[in-house]
Each structure stands twice: as structure tokens, then as C-alpha cells.
Chains A and B, each alone.
Chain A
Amino acid sequence: MKDYLIYFAQAYPNFRRAELESLAHYHGINIDLSHHSETSPFLIVQLENDEQARKIMERSVLSRGIYELWGQGNTLEELHQSVKDNDNGKFELYNKSSFKFDFIGYMGRRNNKQKFEMIESFQFLAFEGPIRMKNPDEVYTILEEYEVMDREKATTPIKMWFGREIQLSARCNNVLDKYDLKSRKYIGTTSFDAELALVTCNIAEVGPKKIVYDPFTGTGSFLVAASNYGGLTIGSDIDVRILRGKGDVNIKSNFKQYGTTTEFLDILTMDFTNNAFRQDFFIDTIVCDPPYGVREGLKVCGAKNEEKAAGRENVVINGEKAHLRRDFIQPKKPYELSNLLDDLLKFSASRLPVNGRLAFWMPTANDDFEINQIPQHENLELLYNLEQEFNKWSRRLLVYVKRDEDYKGVTKNGLKENNIKNFRDRYFRGFSEKSK
């Protein structure tokens, strides 16, 4: 095993361990991240080789890069010493390679003159290869952590690392710009921000040849994110208008925009609770943002008033049963989020393969949240409950994995048991006491 240094992005620190763990698991790589701290963007991990490092970093959204660790110290002298002590023939190995130096400063940085002096100070490496600013064989990176006291800018780092760059993340290769909603042709009020949609797909272990299903597709944010990682995507939604888009601007055209049309399988108008996928249809992963009634209704097919609707199936128009006509509009009725989440878990438990993942977002009010509100199913193990906090409410990314028969979980739904009121009502009433 070798030491590698991971440098994280300053975004969603409570999600990044889950992301890396999942990427490692996806590639069958063992990695211990138990010492990860949400307050530090630097983490040293042990891996077998560069290939493993490359694999876990390539798709990452919440990391920036991974480096083969050559040395570390609290001062430049300590760093020099540490690099020398850890040589083990490394200097020789890269002696003839072209190279350049790079600097990463956390909470502080150096000016060009200082950088130049730093580079000079590493002359003992005695590299003979040419310096190349564009596409060098190797990039040596000096990473530094500064401490900010009060408001003053720190001038000397408290910790330094020297590493050989192995792989920059998808983030550093501009995946966020590429999928930014601002430049996406078809979006709507329900579109999910690209960064967290991509993170969701990483944690859900989306990948080439995997069939990814979003039962609440909307404008297809999760489908395009999944297709970025090679997932074969299929989506359904109760609202045909949102699936259709406007003219040439629709879900399909988004796939065209991103060059992933081969990863697009299809979209269907469907009420999730009256699902038309055949029982043995092979879904590998489910990712979604279920409707919770803030920007869109939570509806299912059915009559609001059953008494009034009784007998309508016998209505005939122009010699045809009304409900069998092409222009028939299927009535919808309201439904409870707690029931829908039950349905989602049940569906996932029966359709996912063992080890297949379900990842979805659930809104919760901060003042009455209790952990038992997170729904559970006996065949699904809850792997992650990752909170994105807003002012009075949060949304949580819940990730479950389907287990085999030996796994004995419990089925429960605290939302239902505790009679937690409609999230939508509380949202529009500012989460006031009274709205509880």
C-alpha cells in the first residue's frame, strides 16, 4: 500500500466521504476513509497503486485531485526532509520525464516570486527531464494549508505536502460547467442542480451498461447526469407536458446537447403507483427527486370523488368508451408523500438486483425532524442519510442498497406513524409552530 493525498473541493463536505466510498466500492477498491474530517480538505489514504487512485478520482465531483504523496511537513525544511526520507528510488524513476510544478493553497497563497523560490528549493530532486508547461509527463504539486486568524491573511502555511499528480477529478475537468443548468437548453422549475445530481449518480453507483431509472423524471436532470457516467437511462413521469417539452426543446434534445444520446433509452408517461414496467424488467439503479408538492403536485391517477365518478367507465362518446379514446384525460387525485415513499421502497426492494442502489431526495422540516421519519424497508439497507440544510427545512439524500435474503431489516415509516403533515403545507406557511 502507498500513501496518496486527496484534495477535496469546498462543497458539501458532508457528502464527500459517501461519494468517494461509493466510487471505490463501484470499482471494487478497498479504502479506509474513517479518518475523514469534514473540516479539512486534505486527506491521506492508502491505496495499492496509481490505477486505483485514478479510478476513484476520475468521476468525483466533490474532490479536486489525488496525488502520490512524496512528503509532508509543517515547514519547508520539514517537507524537504520528508521528501528526501521517502525517496525509495522515486527520484530516479521520474528522472528523465518532462515535468512542471503546480501550487495549491488552501486559505492562502504565494506570489510568483515565492513560488519560484520554492521550486528552486527542490533542486535536490535533480530531475533532468525538460520543464514543460503544457502536457508534461508529471506534475509535482505543492499543497499548502494556511490558517486564517481573525481577518488577517496568513503568510506562512501551517502544513505542506508534496505530491505527484495522479488524477484530477471530473470537477476539475469542468463537469459542472458542462452540466450547469444555466446553459442547459431544456429546464423547468423542478430541474435539479447539476452538482448534486452528479453526486447522487456517483453515490448510486451509476455506470456503463447499468440501467438507471428515474420514476419522477420531470425535465430529466437525473437522467442526463446518469448518462454522463455511461448509465443507460429510462424515465417516467405522470405529467406528459413536462416530458414533451416545447417543440425541439425537450429531454431528448438535452441528451443531444451533451452528446449522450446513446445513453438515452426512453421516457414514458406513467403514474409511478400504477407502474407499467414488466415485473422482471432489469433496473440496476434508481435515482430520483420524488414530488413533495412544493413546485409540482403530488398526484396519482384516480378520481378525487369516487362516488361522483362511479359508473363513468360506461360513458360512451361517438360509439366508443370514453376512457378508451385517444383524447381521454385520466383524472388525478392527491396522494400522501409518506405513501409514495413506501411505494418507492417497495418497488425498489422488488425490482433492484442484490447490491443495486436506490438514491432519492427527501425534504424534512427542521423543527420536527426525527430520524425515524426516514422510511425503511426490510430488504433495503440504508447506507447514507446526507443532509443539505436550508433555513427551516432540509433535503436529505437517502441511499439504500438492496440486500439478499439473509439480510433482516425492518419495514417502517415514521412519517405515517407520527402523522407528519404534508411538507407542502408547512413550506408555504413558513414552518410556523401552528403549521405543525
Chain B
Amino acid sequence: MKIIAILRERFDPKTVRVSRTRGTLDTRRARKFINPSDKNGLEEALRLKGSQKAKVVALSFGPPESEDVLREALAMGADEAVLISGESLDESLEALVLSQAMGKLGKFDLVIIGHQVAGYGASQVGPRLAELLGVPQITRVQEVETADGKAKAKSRRSEGYALLEAPLPALLTVDGGANKPRYPTLPAIISAYQEREVTTWTVVDLGLDQATLSERDGKTEVRETYAAEEREKGERITGDAVQAVRILLGRLRGRGL
């Protein structure tokens, strides 16, 4: 089985400072990292590799510095790493570039990508890529297994989960926090930089033209951006049963229920 795990390099939001006076983002001291849900996607790919014979190819599209996310992926256990080096583009073109790369990578069984990107929280690239590749997709995956040429995934819904199946090849978008990504071991980290290879392609190698891409870039019309609705935090009442029931009753009465 061949799994392509797509990784995007992003600023760690915790290290980005918001300038209150100017209303802008200050990234001078910010640190870049693997977009968290992409990292969960890679972890899912590596788990599949652990349970069956599979090859995991880490793929990234971005500036040359994105190589670091691929080195980290190699350290975590990816078998190969490919960087498409190019200027950043909007989501629709990013999906186009990735689909071309997929063509060059040859036959695959699964493409795994994070559901959202850190920052604005857009979830465009995965679904667009699946459309371009003409493969079925399961979004917001929490857990996946493959058997008999099918992917079976637990997909998150606003309330609970749906258990979905898709014939391979397929694309999965994995939810942030779906799993706990493994640590790259220390020997693997040094080896990822000193011994392993990252294949680098440019958009030209993929039969695309940077000028045309730049011209088409930014044509996406943003209709609306909105803050995610804040869900009220649940509360766990602990302690012995009698005590807990008393507290619970108190809370319910307090709400007039």
C-alpha cells in the first residue's frame, strides 16, 4: 500500500503576536511547525504502516524552508519525502499543484491531509484535491483502518461520529487532535538531516507554469469569515456518588430544569 501524507508548514499560532495597536500579526519571533492536523494525518499514515505493509510518502508544497517539515516527517518514520518548491498560492491552486504532483508520484492507495490549517482554519485543500484526483473522500477522520480494498473511517460530526467506508484509492482529511503524534526519536532526527534525502520538484517539473499560476492566484473570492461558535465547556462532576448526585441536582435546579 502507498500512502501520501501531505504536510503544510505554518506559523505556530502560539508564537505569533497580535499587535493590538496596528491590528496586525507580528511573526518576527514566530516559529514554524507542521500544521497540526497534517501531523495527525501523518501519524494516522504511520499507524497504518505499522499494522500492514505500507510505504508512506510525505509531500509538501511551499517555499524551500518547508523542507524542515519533511525532515521531521522522515524522522517520525516516513519512507520518502518530496518537496514541491514554489511560492504560496491560494487553496484552489494549491490543490491543483498537489494533484499534478500526485500524478508524478504514480499509483497511490490513500492520500491523507489535515482537515484544517492553523491560522484561518480553512479546510479547502483536501476536498478540492479529491475532486481533482477523482477519488472519494472522507472528511474529519478520527481513526482509519483499511481492509479488502476499502478505507473504513470514523468521521466526526457536530454531534458524535459517522462510520464511513470508501473504496481505495481515496482521500482522507484528518481532524486536528485525532491522535497523539509520535515523537521522532533522537537518532532518527539526526539521520533525517544527515543521511536522508528530500526530493525537490518545482512547479515547472509538474508541467505547470509559475507565471500562469501567479496570474490565477488570489482569484478566490472570500464571501465571509466568521469566528467558530464557542461551545459551552462541559463539566465533569467527580467524587462519591451521593455527593455527585447532590451537586448535579443543584446545577439542574440552578438552571430551572
Check if A and B associate.
Answer: no
Binding site for A on B (CB under 8 A): none
